Every structure is written in C-alpha cells, then in structure tokens.
Structure 1
Amino acid sequence: MNDSDRQAQMLYGFNHMQYMSTFFSLGMYYDIELIIKDKRYKTHKSILHAASPLFRTRLNQNIRQMVMNCEGIRDESIAKAFDFIYKGTVELRLEQVANILKLADMWQMDELKKYCYSYLEIVCQDNRQVYQKNEEIDDYLLDNFLRITKHEKFLNMSADNVKRLLSSDNLQVSSEEQVFEGLSQWVKYDWTNRKNDLYSLMKCIRFSLCSVSFLLEEVTSLCCESVEGCQLLLDALKWHEMPQKRCNLPLMNFKSRIKNKVLVIGPFAIETYKLRTKSWTDFCTVDIQNVNFSTAVFQNNLFVFGGWNCEDRSHERVYSFDLLTGELKHLSPMKVKRSWSTAAVVNGRIFIMGGYSYENKLETVEEYDYVKNSWKNVASMKSKRFGHASVVYKEDIYVFGGESGKEYLNSVEVFNTKKNQWKILCPMKWKRSSLAAVVVDDYIYCIGGHSDSPLNNVERYDPGRDTWTEVSDSPVKQIRQSAICHNRKIICFGDHNSPLVQEYDPANDQWRIISEMPNSRNHYNAHVVDLNL
C-alpha cells in the first residue's frame, strides 16, 4: 500500500467516524443504551466493541440496556470518554485529566489512557511535573513505591511531595522499613540541601511498625544527625520496650498502611482488584485444572489445596504459587482427598478443614508444616461439613454453616489452635451453605450463600458474647461469593450469576454496589495481599 492509498483509507475512516459521531449526538440508529448515574446514553454496540475489552466481554446480541458503574466519575469525564470513543481525539484540560484517567481505567480503554498521558507530557514538558500535578500519577507512585524510589524522578521530587507520599495511608509497601529506606535514599541524594527537611519527613515514618533491630541498626545513623531525630528514635524504642508509656508518645503513628490490592483466584486465572480505584487487571494465568479448591496466602506464596476436576473428582494435590516470581510448585499432598474445604493461617500454621471426598463428607482437619512440607492430622470438627466458611479471630478458627450431605447447616464451631480443641457455639439464625464470612474489628459477618434458594441476608456474630444479630440485607443475592475486609468495610465479590461487587459499611449498616467483576466466575477465592506486587 502506497502513501496515497493510506491517506485515502484514513480519510475514508475519518468520514465514517464523523457520521457515527453525529448519530451518537442525535441518538440515531442506536442499538444499546448505557445507563450511567441515572443518565441514559444511546450508543452503538459495534463502536463500543472496538473501544474496550470490557465492552467486548459484556456485550451480546440480545442486550438492549447495560448499567455501568462510574463511582467517583464526573459527568464531564463521561462525555469526554464518549467523544474519544467516536472521534479518536478529545479536548482536555489539566484539571480534568485525573478523573478521565480513572474512567479509562474502569472501562479498560488503554488508548484513552495513552492519549491522556501524551497530553500531560506535552503540557508539563517533564515527567517530574506530571508526578507533582496529577493525582492519577500519585496513584502510580503509591502503588509502585519500591520501583520508583531509586529512580531519578523520585529522587528529584520536592520535599512537600515526598512528605505527601510518605504520609499516605495508601502507600503500598510490605513493611514500614521500606518506607524509611526510600526516605533515606531521597535525603542522601542531595544531603546538603535536604538535611533540614529530614526531621519533618521522618515524622511520616511509622516507626512503631519497625522492628527494634531495624531501629538500632539502620535508623540510628540517620536519626542522630539532629536532636529532634534522636528524640524520635528514642520515642520509637520506648514504644517497643515500654508499652506502659505509649500514651505519652503522641508522635508515634501505629496505624498500618491500607493494603490496596485483592487477588481473585480461579478458576485457571488470577485477577487483581485495586481497592482505591476499583479497577481490575489480569495478574496471571495458572495451570491448575480444578475448581472448588481452598486457598491461603502466606509468606508471599499463594497455596491451593485440593479441589475437584472432571478426571478424578476430589483430589489431594497441593500447589504453591510464588506471587513475586510466578513459580508454581507441587507440594506434598494432603492425607485426604477433599474439595469444598476451607483453609486458615494462624501464626504460620496452615489448617485445612472439612470438605467433600467422593461420597464422603468430612469432619477431619489437617495441618500443613510449611518448612517440612508435610501434613499431620489434628482434632476433627464436631460436625461433617462442606461448602462452609471459616475465619481467623484472635488465633482461633471459626467455622460457619455448610452442608452435611443431608441438610444445610446453621451450626458454628471454634477451634482453639493452642489446645487443639473444637467447641460448639451458638448457631446462626439461618441455615446456609456457600456463604462468605469476614472479620471486621471484633465481629464476624456471615453473608449470603444459599439454602435451597439464594440468600442475601447478613448476620453479625459477637465472639465475646456468643450472640448473633441480623443486619441489613445485601442488595444482591449471591452464591459462592467471596468477601474481604478493607478499611473497616466489607467488600463482597460476585458469582457467575451476578458479577457485581458490593460494599458494606458496618458504621452505618448500609450496602452499596461499587464495581463489577470483568469476568463472571464461580468457585473462586479472594485475598487482600500484604506485599507490593
């Protein structure tokens, strides 16, 4: 194809898009209606299909209306996104770009994201200015702190922006030591001009979360460059060594950073959900050909236990997947084949409880020794159960509901991991299987599941009093959902019938729908990951 042909082809496509843009603005020839924040946008499936893999996943021939979640997105940003979809270009202002980038991330519109970044580079001339002016780029810094601390763009940041970064609860690090090491690199890069900023920046470090050995070995040399730094180090050591004096140490921040990523696991793939932006990305595919497995995350490894596949039904195989390197290992198999079981980690000990094995329903419990790669039996539960839920609270494992093979269960029992003993507790008000359970503060919430039909009722358990209280129902009935706790709120991920993501705020006993899974799925697990992926 010569240049003349290319030019003619581009003009032909441009003219067609002008017509389609006119059709959109006039609401002509549309075949689908998007409902966004109580507004209706008449548009065209073929155009949406070409714009984003999200639309390609959700659109089908019969659908005529589609609800899109745009939490936190301004109307003007939605209008700009449609301009880009139909024209391939859009007029931007600097104050708009962060919100448009957020929408582009939600709708998986990579071309719009590239367009926004190109605009920022032109306006700011220097990527360092981009980092300082745009909140979406701040999100990048927060999410990738370890990757950027040695980069020139970080080392040349202003003291105010470094302080804003280090102060954020959303800084994604595995340990507070990593935050101090980043600060140390920034200060030493231009020590003469930055040493006067050291004390104010060091107050952003949560030294109460650092180990005593790290304080003595790594922090001492930098702290002792100033009297104020010495006092800060002394207060940190008092926090650890003299807990009775903590009330007299007001500068000690003991609040943990908020983890920002959730891994949604299975079947056959892992996706990442970013909690702050409510956006999804593919993490990896995993060659584990089974469903109804149980999972645990421990020491940067994802463990997958048992499950069910078409070849041999329930099985005893165990895998570990290194979340940092992507290495998949086969581990020592469990003693018993089991699917529909649950897993729990208590002080480095991994327990597998109950489940289903061929026609047998299980009450047995096994403990996995990570160091020795071996299994042993521990005390069995009081009841046989599968499809149950379990949580860890104060070093004990609580198990809720499930099925016995004869009936749905509302029974509850707790495992004292130190005494190797099970105890029966007050039952739930509702019999339920395939439910979700999650700990928030000093309560345990049991959500949804099914008992002949799907449920959306929610119960709250008080372990201190062994009592149950019913709270507000969730908006959507979901079976085999998975729930996590984030920032003292519950986030429930959907099932194959309803991919909606729901959030519950215990403080006001209210639910709301906040997002949608890109792929409807069944037989999966979700974990908040405590590492910088």
Structure 2
Amino acid sequence: TAARLCIEAHELNAPPTQLYEDEHAMVRCSPELNAIRTEKKLTDLSIQLKDNQIMSVHKLILAARIPSLYEALTAPPTRRNSVLHWPSVSIIFASAFLRYVYTGQLKVSESNAVGLILLARQVSLLCVETWAASYLAARTTTENLASNWDFAKSMTVEPLMAACLQHMKIYFEATVATDLFLRLPADQLLTLLQADDLQVDSEEKVFEAIVHWVNPGGSRDPDRAEHLPQLLREVRWLETNPHFRRQLIETDSVVGGNVEHLRLLSLIDNWISNPTEHAERQCPFNMNRRAASFPASLLLFGEASEGNRWSIVSYDPETGIEEVVGRMRKRFYAAYITLEENVFSIGGWIEGQGVSSRVDVFDTKERRWKLQAPLIIRRQQHAATLVNVGDSIKGNNETLILVCGGGYNQPADCGGGWQLLRACEIFDPLQCRWHILPSMREKRVATTAVALQDGRVFCFGGFDGTSRLSTVEFCCLQRNWRETKSHGAAATDTFWKTAAPMRFARSKLAGAYFRGRIIIVGGYNRKGGLSSVDMFSPPDAERPLGEWTELTDMQQPRHMCFLLVCNERLFAIGGEEDPQNTVEEFSSKDPLPPIDSDLVTWTWIENRRASKLNGIRGAATVIL
C-alpha cells in the first residue's frame, strides 16, 4: 500500500495518539464502508478474539485489503473459513486494526502500538507494522528504552531497534547507569562504541563503561572479558589523558594480570607517545574523533571591518571568539549551504559579473575556495536548503541541495528589467550536476526554504513583482525524484502543494527547522524591517494545511538575515538594518530545556557582535 507518514516520525513532542493514513485513504472516497462495519450490516465473517470476544466483518473487504487472507477468504464457503481465529488479539487492537482496513486510517497510541505490530506481523500487513514501529521509535525515552529494546529484539523490529540504539548513543552515560546496559550483548555494545557520533563527555567514561559491562555486579565475567581487546580498541585513546593511560597499565583492575590486555594497553600508550616509531604499522585502536568532540561554529561571510575587502570569519556562539579563516570576492544575495566539510556559495550578485550562476565551495579543512558546477539558471535572492532523500536505515539515502525562486536582470536588448523566477533546480553531489525540478506555483524572490527529515521542502513568502506574499507551498522529494516531469502546469500542480499562509505577507525573511517545528523570523513589508517570529507546525492528518503560532519578537528588526541551528541552539544573524553584524539567540529560561519545551515561552538574547565584519552577507554552521 502506498502510504505516507502524516506526522513527523522524530518529533518527541508529538501527541499521544497519532493518525496515519494511506495515500488514497478509503474513508475519503467511500466513508459508507466503515459505517456498514460499525452498524454490523451485511456481515458474513466472524473473528474470534481473546476472551472469546467476537467481531463481525465482511469477507470481501478483508480479502481485498489483506493479501495474506485472500486465498482463504475467497475459497468456496465452508464452516472453517466462516470464522477467523485470533485468540491472542484483544478487541482493542482488533478494533484499531479493522478501522484501518475499512478506512485507510490508522490511529496509533501507546496502548495499542505493540498489539498492532503483533497483529500486523500475524497477517503480513507491512504498512501497519511500519507505522506502529515508527510511532514507538519516535517516542523512545530513557524510561521506556528497556521495554522498547526487549520488544524490538524479540520480534526483530528493525526500525525500533535502530531508534533504541540511537537513543543509547545520544544518552550514552544515562544508558550505562541502567540494567539494560549490562544486558546488552557484546556485538551491540561494540556497535555503540564504534559510533563516531556517540555522545560522551570523555573517552575515559567510555573506558569506565566497558569496565562496568565486563564486571556486572562488581565481579569479572570471564566470558565478557574475552571481548575486552575488541572493545578497548574502540576507545578513542588519542583523546585520553596520558596519566590516565599509564595508571591503567600499572594499577587498574581491568588488566587483571591478563598478559594480552596488558600488552594491548602498553602498545596503545607507546603508539601515542612515540608515533614516529610506528609509521608503517597499523594503528591498534580507532583513531577517528567522535563528532561530539567537535563543537560546531558559525561561519560568516561579508565586508571586513578593516580594509576594503571581504572576509570569512569563524564565530564561536558560546564565547563570541572570532577568527578570520579566509577571503572572498564581493558577493551579495547568494545562498549558503553546508554539505559535510564544504560550504556552498550559490549564485548571487558577484563583483565584475552581476547576477551569476556561479557556485563556489569553501573547503573548511583546506580553507580555500573551489569551483563547482554552475546553476542552470542564474539568480540572486533565491532560497536554498539541504534535503535528505531516502531511508538511512536501508542505506539508500542521499543528500541534495535544492534551490528555488530568486531573479535576474535581463539584458538591455531583451527590454531590461528583472525576471522573477518560479524555477527550481536540485544539485546531486555524487554526479556534480544540477537538475531542473517542476517550477513553483508562484514567482518568489527574497523567499526562504526549509526542509524536513521526511523529504518535504517548504517555501515561504517572498515578492512576486507586484506584492509581497504570505503564501506557503511545499513539495516532497522521494527517492525517485529523477523521474519527476519538470515542465508544464500539470507537473507544478502535482509536485507543489499549498499550505497554511503566514500571518502576514513579507519578503526577505529567514527560516530554519528547530525542535520539530519550522521557525520563521524577520522579513520586510511596506512598514519596513520586521522583528516578528512565527512557528509553523507542518501539515499532518490532524492539521492538513499546517498551523502557525506567534512567538516572541527578536531584539531588533532583521531583513535579509540568516537563521541557523548550531549545537542545538537557534541564532538569528545579521540583516540589512544597522548595525548589520549582530547575533541573537532564541533561548529558554531552563538551561537544559526538554525536547517538548514550549517555544512560546522562549525569548531572544543578544550575543556578542561579529566585530570583524561590518556586514554579514552569508552564514553557515560548520565544524572546523
């Protein structure tokens, strides 16, 4: 069954009951079917449930909707095939399941998710199992981690297992303190330790976790100790204190007189202390640094405060410390996107060229510019966003750059003036090539675009040549995006859908995805620059057009500014109102706000200015 997830799968603050539906839900075209079921009319099949409960249904509907039952239900009538026996299924689970069969809509809650998975597995209905598993995965917490993990392992529910492992990685130290950690098999513990994105304060704590696992209850388990060499190799020893390493070799009980363990620890310490002696030999431990060891910074592009030049400045939002890391040509109204270690500067107005299709990439490791494949259509004041397409669990995902809207000035022999764009294109990094996508419904210059984790891309506001826009439209990029027809009104209407409009029209706005919502800040209207901030809850089954909520205004008006998430914090940067080098943060009074914190209560706090720039014309989040 072609299906869509109606609410973001990774929102921990989602409602306790979540509605999923088929792409073409039966309830929308034949609502009478469910009415016939609930009124028990024309039924010709009984289902015997747990505690001898009976439900009456229709053979035709079940045979058509549940392929695994088709052969049995369409066979010549017998006493045997007039009753289905589901003796382990309660009426609560069966009711939710059969409601889906008749309507194409599935309501999943904490009370029925496990039962729906078991019943879906019994009748081989994959979409129901997938939805219920994604519901549990999105709500995995430290409190329910053990029960979710045990269920996922026993039934081999891979999406839920992946979510549990991801939670263990993010909250590793909290997981170590639980009984579940001591019950982990060696291969799962090894998987955790191998993760470069394991969130842990220090590698010494990784070592302590290994010792804790090898010594459950305070005494060494000989079977677990056999895995010690493999586990110890995954500690990032380069990040440990030399005194700590020497103390392990001399006194720590983890060695326990085992010559192999002692030899490994000595080899590791010697490798780090005398690297030149081992140039031709394989490193005895994992040398990768964990991502958590690299706090992100803001990379700012614009006019230098000293001298008639443009600079690239790294800005630490925690301390306000700045460093000039490169130079650049004068470039207004470009779009800036981070992809791995590179920052793409896309289009814009470039000194000596005018409005350009040029794409340059700043390599943050080598700290130099490289030329990339140009846009198909030159443009400035356009929107760009990074889009993840596919399923990372299945390994078929890809990361793309989508560009939409903007405009360019026409040559004099074509009448001059500005050509505003509906056109969209997408960049495939693997092929280093741009592809045309279906055009948007409206021309939009000075717009902003934000992508969600499910491949949806939303485009907000802008200017169409006559007036500023409050409208919102969105598309959903799938794995087969290359097969999308890119031309014609039909392609546009199929590809781009409308969503709830903003509270008021504006152009030159900025947006970002933050804590499961889209935040829109600033902009420009007939009154001038705006300090307003709004939160957009994306469309789902309960809110088919999405929903807007007003948040606290910024400290100052900002148009043509940038909104970025850095180290899970949200920053508004720059703008064309003086001073043009300010930074402010959207902040909670709670120093460690929970994931479901009410953003309505948050306020904006001014940060230290980016003093090495007079004006910020581009910004990106990077790890330097």
Please give the TM-score of this superposition, normalised by the length of structure 2: 0.46
1:341, CA displacement in angstroms? 1.1
1:294, CA displacement in angstroms? 0.9
Alignment of 1:279-318 (within 5 A): 279-286=321-328, 288-318=329-359
Question: What amino acid maps onto 2:469 in structure 1?
Answer: L
Question: What amino acid maps onto 1:517 in structure 2?
Answer: A
2:362 pairs with 312, 315, 321, which one?
321
1:263, CA displacement in angstroms? 0.7
Question: What amino acid maps onto 1:492 in structure 2?
Answer: A
Aligned position for 2:238: 182
Q: Which residues of structure 2 form unaligned runs of 5+?
A: 1-200, 209-232, 266-289, 304-309, 389-398, 410-417, 485-494, 588-598
1:407 pairs with 447, 467, 476, which one?
467
Aligned position for 1:468: 548
- SS of residue paired to 2:323: strand
Question: What amino acid maps onto 2:619 in structure 1?
Answer: A
1:353, CA displacement in angstroms? 1.1
Question: What amino acid maps onto 1:436 in structure 2?
Answer: A
Pair 1:484 & 2:564 matched: yes
Aligned position for 2:62: none
Aligned position for 2:428: 369
1:417 pairs with 477, 482, 495, which one?
477
Deviation string 1:436-463 (CA, Å, 9 cap, x unpaired) is 2122111111111111211111111111
Aligned position for 2:585: 503
Q: Distance in 2 between matches of 1:404 and 1:181?
A: 57
- SS of residue paired to 1:409: strand
Is the CA contact 1:259–1:528 (under 8 Å) kept in the aligned structure 2? Answer: no
Alignment of 1:236-255 (within 5 A): none
2:313 pairs with 268, 271, 282, which one?
271
Question: What amino acid maps onto 2:326 in structure 1?
Answer: C
Question: What amino acid maps onto 1:525 in structure 2?
Answer: G
Structure 1 residues 266 and 193, CA gap change in structure 2 (3 angstroms):
farther
Question: What amino acid maps onto 2:354 in structure 1?
Answer: R
- SS of residue paired to 1:278: coil
Deviation string 1:50-73 (CA, Å, 9 cap, x unpaired) is xxxxxxxxxxxxxxxxxxxxxxxx
Is the CA contact 2:574–2:617 (under 8 Å) kept in the aligned structure 1? Answer: no
Q: Distance in 2 between matches of 1:528 and 1:387?
A: 21
Question: What amino acid maps onto 1:382 in structure 2?
Answer: R
Alignment of 1:522-533 (within 5 A): 522=615, 524-529=617-622, 531=623, 533=624
Q: Distance in 1 between matches of 2:255 and 2:386?
A: 39
Question: What amino acid maps onto 2:513 in structure 1?
Answer: V
2:379 pairs with 327, 338, 350, which one?
338
Pair 1:444 & 2:444 matched: no
Question: What amino acid maps onto 1:342 in structure 2?
Answer: A
Count of residue pairs the alignment pairs up: 314
- SS of residue paired to 1:182: helix
Aligned position for 1:192: 249
Structure 1 residues 385 and 194, CA gap change in structure 2 (3 angstroms):
farther
Deviation string 1:286-329 (CA, Å, 9 cap, x unpaired) is 2x332111121112111111111354421111112211012322
1:400, CA displacement in angstroms? 1.1
Structure 1 residues 448 and 222, CA gap change in structure 2 (3 angstroms):
farther
Question: What amino acid maps onto 2:550 in structure 1?
Answer: E
1:357 pairs with 405, 408, 421, which one?
408
Q: Distance in 2 between matches of 1:330 and 1:263?
A: 19
Structure 1 residues 334 and 260, CA gap change in structure 2 (3 angstroms):
closer
2:610 pairs with 517, 521, 529, which one?
517
Structure 1 residues 382 and 321, CA gap change in structure 2 (3 angstroms):
same
Structure 1 residues 222 and 388, CA gap change in structure 2 (3 angstroms):
farther
Is the CA contact 2:459–2:473 (under 8 Å) kept in the aligned structure 1? Answer: yes
- SS of residue paired to 2:462: coil
Is the CA contact 1:263–1:526 (under 8 Å) kept in the aligned structure 2? Answer: yes
- Structure with higher Rg: it is 2
1:257, CA displacement in angstroms? 6.6
Q: Distance in 2 between matches of 1:224 and 1:424?
A: 65
1:507, CA displacement in angstroms? 6.6
Q: Which residues of structure 1 form unaligned runs of 5+?
A: 1-159, 168-176, 200-220, 227-253
Is the CA contact 1:352–1:365 (under 8 Å) kept in the aligned structure 2? Answer: yes
Structure 1 residues 181 and 390, CA gap change in structure 2 (3 angstroms):
farther
Question: What amino acid maps onto 1:510 in structure 2?
Answer: T
- SS of residue paired to 1:192: helix
Question: What amino acid maps onto 2:236 in structure 1?
Answer: F
Question: What amino acid maps onto 1:277 in structure 2?
Answer: T
2:457 pairs with 393, 397, 409, which one?
397
Structure with larger RCO (C-alpha < 8 A, sep 6+): 2
Deviation string 1:68-122 (CA, Å, 9 cap, x unpaired) is xxxxxxxxxxxxxxxxxxxxxxxxxxxxxxxxxxxxxxxxxxxxxxxxxxxxxxx
Aligned position for 2:95: none
Deviation string 1:186-215 (CA, Å, 9 cap, x unpaired) is 56666513754799xxxxxxxxxxxxxxxx
Q: Distance in 2 between matches of 1:437 and 1:406?
A: 23
Output the aligned Cα RMSD.
3.5
Question: What amino acid maps onto 1:503 in structure 2?
Answer: E
Structure 1 residues 427 and 300, CA gap change in structure 2 (3 angstroms):
same
Q: Distance in 1 between matches of 2:506 and 2:262?
A: 56
